[in-house]
Structure 1
């Protein structure tokens, strides 16, 4: 009887942990999706508190700071028109969340529309009750690229 009670307790704790983790993963996934929309909308007011002041942004043409990324978005020198998210994987490690999105990005760069396949790696860290983005890295990939989960 004690063995059955122990197994049942272990199962309930495991299920509770899974739901809590899923809740955090869903929160991060929604935040990531919101970020793509805010970038498309050039909504600096919503992006500024999300991007950590010391974050780095890695693009095909260079790596820059939060201030530069916000300037690029605000001026439209890169206009992230639409990120079609095809697959997402999320891992939570303590107060850090890592998101991998496989996307087709439609962007306007130097006046021309460009459509590119990327796997984008996003790193977030929880500070108090808010998540802050520490890194955003675009990796150019083939359209057959898959995120291994």
Structure 2
């Protein structure tokens, strides 16, 4: 399951000549991973935010912390993943859930949230991004925020 999730992305990001590395799921209540594992996919505790750390020969492996829900899905995937239905509902069938509400207007980014996120980016020192940040004063229309977030 982990291979199916991460392999395509790793192939695109890593150079072709890079040495092959072995990634293994590790965590509480799982058997201790082999010593030849280079990368360990480990859970993050949902309340404390601490990353699970292994003991023994794999303690020196590179840890990739995953949110607990993602890690649990990789460790024990659901037996029957939900399949979207196709076609129309039969006339005699009644829906047991309400239809989703449609948005009343297009998505608008919150100006303060956008500005705080922009300031935290390391690329904010680049000229084009700094220009956007300087233009985000209180007189600027929200169209600029919407155009930048597309």
Range into which the TM-score falls when normalised by the shorter chain: under 0.3
- Comparing both chains, which one has the higher relative contact order based on Cα–Cα distances under 8 Å and sequence gaps of 6 or more? 1
For normalisation by structure 2, the TM-score amounts to 0.21
- Relative to total residues, which structure has the larger strand share, 1 or 2? 1
For normalisation by structure 1, the TM-score amounts to 0.21
